[in-house]
Structure 1
């Protein structure tokens, strides 16, 4: 008997099962190797694989999910859950795919504008001004992070620091995030979340007691002049925000100024309450 011949009513050889599932034997061996569809039985002597007729639906489902470029772990989650729960897992995965594709589409349009020489047109929608910010004490949390983890980390870290500010005299100005180096899918910064507080001594005492776990630091930011542009919640999304940063950089050069430190995002509005067109953030560079 070969692997292609039917065995019994209860078990099918890989060839017979492949024909019933409308898949190749090669695909079934791959699914077995990936841990997505194990044979019901494997003959120890011959190594032949045997399947039950009830596994046909799972085999077809695995094949279709792989056409969505779904990661193996997510495929396993869908097929194991099945039913409405499996459908929910699939819906969540596809929502992530659509969000990623939408971001890539926007990035492609942005890059087309740069490559075709329309940079000045893109930058023209940003109004750049300067402001003198006073000296301020900040509690800060720094982390190396890639772009896909950045939004979640910003929200979590600023939340932690704002909670800590209650022991440091309270928040005195808008929180901000400093980018000490580029944050992308290849470069991990670091980025630094900062919250200005009123009481330096209390802040240093708090950091000494609680800050070591997350490398929380306290420092005094000197009074500085900043060039900045104000952007909406929709414009904060990547890659729209890249155009804002580049617009400020271009303006600094055009005014004969120099960058005097790393760039930052200053968040002055309630993010959750803001709508897409509401101003929420200043993209700023210290200048001299």
Structure 2
């Protein structure tokens, strides 16, 4: 058995960190002296402690670390890769947001959103696998990437196949200051049961108005101009809204050049004669 000082030295963790990981349930001492409260650790816990230390160096939240370490190494690797993909996507979104702001401040870029048409289309009833999650604007991109990857992995393992890209339905206003519920949806073919937080449902047939933007234009707050464009068009023609707004991503949109069309900003509407 190792004292907390010996264990911390060998694991590269401070007393404060070890106490935090004990309270959070990540790394409890192997033994606590009932008389004086001294903590003792087993040498077998060193590998887990070192993994926690490395993951914290990546600024991974404690809750995510717990998920990475909860199962087998193979399961942990999948969770690690999903988290890192979300981090990279968030960084790219922040970079686009920065460029938008620089353009606006320097007045050297194109102002706002370049003109484009608002179109309409009929969407048939579609079977989807979805995950609902609460998020704010800062974490939004990471949530979308993580949930989409989780759904795609589940569908593949179940022998189903995704069909037409993915959607994100906004059931509330996601802002930098406040959270709201988003629903990440992947249309698919095949027979699949719900599992954990993955729900299986049918998105009803509907008509929707939409405009198309590039991945660069997805950066917040520029993307809000596209939502305004669609909403203003719908109100101008006097057609009632029929559902929450959504982003419809083309298949493999992350591989499309960032200045080419990749995402539809859509709003379900009623028929004109309704």
TM range (shorter): 0.5 to 0.7
Q: CA deviation at 1:238?
A: 0.8
Partner of 1:240: 222
Q: In structure 2, do the counterparts of structure 1 residues 108 and 190 end up closer, same or farther at CA, with 3 Å as the change threshold?
A: farther
CA–CA separation in structure 1 for the residues paired with 2:240 and 2:159: 34
CA–CA separation in structure 1 for the residues paired with 2:155 and 2:177: 33
CA–CA separation in structure 1 for the residues paired with 2:223 and 2:201: 27
Partner of 2:141: 151
Q: Name the SS for the 1:272 alignment partner.
A: helix
CA–CA separation in structure 2 for the residues paired with 1:176 and 1:136: 12
Q: Which of 224, 229, 235 pairs up with 1:253?
A: 235
Contact 2:246 2:266 in 1 (8 A): yes
Partner of 1:49: none
Pair 1:187 & 2:204 matched: no
Q: CA deviation at 1:172?
A: 2.2
Contact 1:134 1:224 in 2 (8 A): yes
Partner of 2:151: 161
Q: Which has the larger radius of gyration?
A: 1
CA–CA separation in structure 2 for the residues paired with 1:277 and 1:141: 29
Deviations 1:235-277 (CA, angstroms, capped at 9, x unpaired): 0111111000000000001111111111000001423322221
TM (norm. structure 2) is: 0.58
- Please list, as runs of the form range in 1=range in 2, the aligned pairs for 1:11-90 lying within 5 A after superposition: none
TM (norm. structure 1) is: 0.55
Contact 2:113 2:222 in 1 (8 A): no
Partner of 2:258: 276
Please tell me the root mean square deviation across aligned C-alpha atoms, in Å: 2.8
Q: In structure 2, do the counterparts of structure 1 residues 104 and 234 end up closer, same or farther at CA, with 3 Å as the change threshold?
A: closer
Pair 1:198 & 2:194 matched: no
Q: Which of 97, 102, 105 pairs up with 2:98?
A: 102
Deviations 1:178-225 (CA, angstroms, capped at 9, x unpaired): 0000111122111110001123xx32x2x2xxx22xx22111111110
Gaps of 5+ in 1: 1-72, 75-94, 113-120
CA–CA separation in structure 2 for the residues paired with 1:262 and 1:279: 22
Pair 1:139 & 2:135 matched: no
Gaps of 5+ in 2: 1-55, 58-90
Partner of 1:231: 213
Aligned length: 176
Q: In structure 2, do the counterparts of structure 1 residues 103 and 277 end up closer, same or farther at CA, with 3 Å as the change threshold?
A: closer
Partner of 2:165: 174
Deviations 1:155-195 (CA, angstroms, capped at 9, x unpaired): 11111111222226311222100000011112211111000
Contact 2:151 2:186 in 1 (8 A): yes
Q: In structure 2, do the counterparts of structure 1 residues 255 and 103 end up closer, same or farther at CA, with 3 Å as the change threshold?
A: same
Partner of 1:218: 200
CA–CA separation in structure 2 for the residues paired with 1:249 and 1:101: 22
